[in-house]
Amino acid sequence: MGFGDLKSPAGLQVLNDYLADKSYIEGYVPSQADVAVFEAVSGPPPADLCHALRWYNHIKSYEKEKASLPGVKKALGKYGPANVEDTTESGATDSKDDDDIDLFGSDDEEESEEAKRLREGRLAQYESKKAKKPALVAKSSILLDVKPWDDETDMAKLEECVRSIQADGLVWGSSKLVPVGYGIKKLQIQCVVEDDKVGTDMLEEQITAFDEYVQSMDVAAFNKI
């Protein structure tokens, strides 16, 4: 098992063929298996080895976070197609230890394959859940001060006009009249908006359009939710 000498054209060809139908060395997400093989490659594969080059450039983009990638890095000879002789140093060491072969077989390899299967299944479930997770919608709570022209302005009608403004991502809340002096009261009204859909400029433009009742509009408070 292995890729052979990944610093040689023959080894890179094996890597390219191996990646023809795979995105990663193991599993469905970048892992320590990719890091181990990436570090064994001396540089970008030639352009004619398109699968290996695509993989190399993709793994290179994880350079700053490779230590946090999942999995445990194994000897290079533990990765790759089974029909290729491992010519790495670890492979040579393994062959020197042939005298220690367990004639009764070992469950280690079977257990390792089972652990690998479980890990890949969990990674696939995680990626699936992450893809289905709804995107966070940024919202803000805004308190508006809407001032009338004078003390004779019909404030009930003014509020009715303000609340008549409807838009996707806009929800009107509570309101009250606040004295400002000389018998004049302003409308203080709360609303919640989705930031990508509704802005204070739009609210001001539409509220001040009721110029029969509204003199001006100010933002009294603005808080991210």
- pLDDT tens digit string along 145-190? 999 999 999 999 999 999 999 999 999 999 999 999 999 999 999 9
158 in a structural domain: yes
Place of tokens 């976070």: 65
121 in a structural domain: no
Q: Say what the pLDDT of residue 75 is.
A: 87
108 in a structural domain: no
Any alpha helices (H) in the chain, and if so which ranges? 9-18, 32-40, 50-60, 89-96, 108-132, 155-163, 200-207
* Whole-number Å distance between alpha carbons of 137 and 9: 50
134 in a structural domain: no
- What CATH number is associated with residue 175? 3.30.70.60
Question: 6 with 37: CB under 8 angstroms?
Answer: yes
* pLDDT tens figures, 98-135: 444 444 444 445 557 778 888 888 888 877 777 766 66
Q: Which of 78, 96, 129 is the last residue of a domain?
A: 78
Do 145 and 220 fall within a single domain?
yes
Q: Which of 47, 78, 109 is the last residue of a domain?
A: 78
98 in a structural domain: no
195 in a structural domain: yes
Please say if the pLDDT value at position 97 is more than 70.
no
Task: Kindly indicate the confidence band of residue 202, based on its pLDDT and cuts at 50, 70 and 90.
Answer: very high
* pLDDT tens figures, 14-68: 999 999 888 898 888 889 999 999 999 989 999 889 889 989 998 898 888 888 8
User: Where is pLDDT greater, at 78 or 93?
Assistant: 78
119 in a structural domain: no
The number of distinct structural domains making up the chain is 2
Please give the full DSSP string across 135-195, using - where no structure is assigned. PPPPEEEEEEEEEESSTTS-HHHHHHHHHT---TTEEEEEEEEEEEETTEEEEEEEEEEET
30 in a structural domain: yes
- What domain range is 163 assigned to? 139-224
Q: Say what the pLDDT of residue 87 is.
A: 58
Q: Which of 59, 78, 97 is the last residue of a domain?
A: 78
Q: Say what the pLDDT of residue 82 is.
A: 76
Most confident among 72-76, 127-131, 196-200 (mean pLDDT): 196-200
pTM for the structure as a whole: 0.42
* Whole-number Å distance between alpha carbons of 215 and 225: 29
